[in-house]
């Protein structure tokens, strides 16, 4: 049997086949999101080129860098508050360590806000270690004559301060820690040539 001709839809009858086809195509296009290219009005290269022409003020730069560290001088813990934390350096082990070679070197950190004679405040931290280590140079060689490293020196400074305050030697590491938390003392803090603050010494009040 011959195929029956397709009956035109109402839309086709009213507007014609071509108009209906265009309308369908238009709807399909409208459903698709339109991609918009955003142009950066400030290209990075142009910004870098502009910064190359900005001159620095040496005095302003010096003040900004000085604000990173405390100036050398005498300081105390602000309101006597100091935090103490204990950590272990697993990669640094030696015979005679107080917790044995399995845990590594013991480091005790003291940190808090300090206030100087000038009234300036800032954050400061120093570390001590009852596990003795000797100082090495940048190539990893022992310094001659043999010299205790910074953490060992700081621990010795604490035990000496304990002796000055208690007129006896400490019997445990814990005694040293408790004393350093409650005693009233000043710390002389130095400023390194390349920045950074370091503990130099203590003095009982």
124-140 tens-digit pLDDT: 999 999 999 999 998 88
Exposure on the CB side of residue 133, measured as CA atoms within 13 A: 22
CA distance 86 to 61: 37
CA distance 62 to 128: 32
CA distances from 191 to 158, 188, 196 (A): 20, 10, 6
pTM tops 0.95, yes or no: no
81-104 tens-digit pLDDT: 999 999 999 999 998 999 988 889
CA distance 189 to 124: 9
Contact status, residue 80 vs residue 42, Cβ threshold 8 Å: no
């Amino acid at each position: 049997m011959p195929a029956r001709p397709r009956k035109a839809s109402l839309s086709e009858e009213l507007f014609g086949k071509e108009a209906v086809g265009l309308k369908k195509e238009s709807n399909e296009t409208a459903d698709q999101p339109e991609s918009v290219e955003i142009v950066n009005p400030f290209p990075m290269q142009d910004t870098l080129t502009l910064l190359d022409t900005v001159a620095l003020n040496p005095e302003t730069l010096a003040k900004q860098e000085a604000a990173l560290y405390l100036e050398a001088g005498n300081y105390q813990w602000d309101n006597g508050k100091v935090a103490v934390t204990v950590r272990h350096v697993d990669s640094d082990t030696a015979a005679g360590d107080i917790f044995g070679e399995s845990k590594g070197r013991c480091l005790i950190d003291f940190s808090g806000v300090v206030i100087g004679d000038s009234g300036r405040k800032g954050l400061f931290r120093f570390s001590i270690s009852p596990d003795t280590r000797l100082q090495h140079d940048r190539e990893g060689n022992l310094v001659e004559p043999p010299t205790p490293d910074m953490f060992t020196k700081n621990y010795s400074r604490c035990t000496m301060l304990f002796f000055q305050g208690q007129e006896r030697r400490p019997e445990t590491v814990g005694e040293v820690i408790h004393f350093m938390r409650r005693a009233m003392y000043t710390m002389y803090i130095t400023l390194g040539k390349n920045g950074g603050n370091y503990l130099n010494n203590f003095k009982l009040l």
